[in-house]
């Protein structure tokens, strides 16, 4: 028999125009939760929270209908399409109020449900974050694989700490979500933010399936915007690149200066060429260096306005109340 001592789990599922896949998703997630409850691994108050991200098809209707007949199914409807990351955050913030741990998963059944049990057992072993990591990408198209790998590499070279081949399939404890809510930024890139929260984390590996039905809701345009957001929300490297190019141009202007003066002395030039050449390179270089310098300050402002917590305390032996975030 299921006891109430086990953790309450909420599965958060953002959905955008997912009417083709949703009935199957509900069926399979219900089976998983029932199984976990029967094995006394989670509490029977556990839920599946569907977040309808402004769908224009019958997604919300389906969520409402199942909510009437299936105790596990609950839902949030956003007023308009806010995007995957925002929909996910809306679900996580709601879920943390009603559960001990939360698993986020896409609606399309690409992520392997068999590892949920492993997620829970790692959580019980004391891990606050369990990342689902794809073992292979054989079911993805060549383009998706190629672009995704390039994206992870680019992020890492820019100093952004992301888990390789991990999307948004993960378990998080309530305290991780409590602290996540203190990251006030508007441009969300959860994959980069969650490692910043800290606490003990681990990875669970799985094979990624093909989308069960329907089409990807991440067309190229959205994918590029997402990648760009990921980079510019976490890294000032692109700004530094401007200063770098500027310095390079400045140095080149000195070499070009020598070359131009030599030409002038040897009489190979037409009037005005030498001064024009030197000015263009010299002033161009100065401009870029200045722009980079301004960029450095803009970069500082950008870090300040995010208002991220400077550190998060895990345990304070002097106080009974734990996990306070201290802001300076």
Q: Which is nearer to Mg ion, 100 or 111 (CB)?
A: 111
Which of the residues 107 through 136 are near Mg ion (CB under 5 A)?
108, 110
| By CB under 6 A, residue 90 contacts ligand UDP | no
- Binding residue (CB under 6 A) for ligand UDP from 22, 29, 107, 109: 107
For ligand UDP, the binding residue among 99, 104, 110, 201 (CB under 6 A) is 110
Binding-site size for Mg ion (CB under 5 A) equals 3
Q: Least Å distance between CB 106 and ligand UDP?
A: 4
Q: Which of residues 36, 53, 122, 132 is near ligand UDP by CB under 6 A?
A: 53
16 binds, options Mg ion, ligand UDP, none, Cβ within 5 to 8 A by partner type = ligand UDP
Say if residues 183 and 309 touch (Cβ distance below 8 Å). yes
Please, which of residues 68-87 interact with ligand UDP by CB under 6 A? Answer: 81, 83-84, 87
Is residue 55 part of the contact set for Mg ion (CB under 5 A)?
no
Binding mask 207-246 for ligand UDP (x = CB under 6 A): ---------xxx----------------------------
Would you say 63 or 312 has its CB closer to ligand UDP? 63
What is the x/- site pattern for ligand UDP, positions 8-27, by CB under 6 A? ------xxx-x---------
- Quote the least distance from Cβ 107 to Mg ion, whole Å: 8
List residues near ligand UDP by CB under 6 A: 14-16, 18, 53, 81, 83-84, 87, 106-108, 110, 216-218
List residues near Mg ion by CB under 5 A: 106, 108, 110
């Amino acid at each position: 028999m299921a006891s109430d001592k086990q953790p309450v789990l909420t599965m958060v599922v953002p959905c955008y125009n997912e009417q083709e896949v949703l009935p199957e998703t509900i069926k399979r997630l219900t089976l998983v939760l029932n199984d976990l409850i029967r094995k006394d691994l989670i509490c029977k108050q556990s839920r599946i929270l569907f977040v309808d991200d402004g769908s224009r098809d019958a997604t919300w209707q389906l969520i409402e209908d199942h909510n009437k007949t299936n105790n596990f199914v609950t839902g949030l409807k956003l007023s308009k399409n806010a995007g995957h990351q925002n929909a996910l955050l809306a679900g996580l913030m709601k879920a943390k109020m009603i559960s001990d741990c939360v698993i986020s998963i896409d609606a399309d059944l690409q992520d392997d449900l068999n590892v949920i049990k492993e997620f829970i057992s790692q959580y019980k072993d004391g891990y606050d974050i369990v990342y689902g990591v794809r073992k292979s990408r054989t079911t993805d198209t060549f383009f998706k694989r190629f672009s995704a790998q390039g994206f992870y590499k680019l992020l890492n070279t820019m100093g952004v700490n992301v888990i390789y081949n991990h999307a948004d399939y993960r378990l998080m404890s309530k305290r991780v979500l409590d602290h996540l809510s203190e990251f006030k930024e508007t441009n969300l890139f959860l994959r980069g933010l969650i490692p910043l929260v800290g606490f003990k984390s681990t990875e669970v590996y799985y094979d990624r399936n093909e989308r069960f039905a329907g089409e990807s809701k991440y067309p190229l345009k959205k994918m590029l915007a997402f990648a760009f957001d990921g980079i510019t929300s976490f890294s000032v490297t692109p700004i530094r690149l401007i200063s770098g190019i500027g310095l390079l141009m400045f140095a080149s202007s000195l070499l070009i200066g020598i070359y131009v003066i030599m030409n002038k002395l040897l009489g190979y030039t037409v009037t005005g060429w030498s001064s024009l050449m030197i000015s263009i390179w010299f002033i161009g270089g100065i401009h870029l260096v200045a722009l980079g310098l301004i960029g450095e300050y803009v970069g500082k402002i950008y870090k300040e306005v995010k208002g991220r917590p400077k550190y998060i305390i895990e345990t304070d032996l002097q106080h009974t109340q734990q996990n306070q975030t201290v802001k300076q």
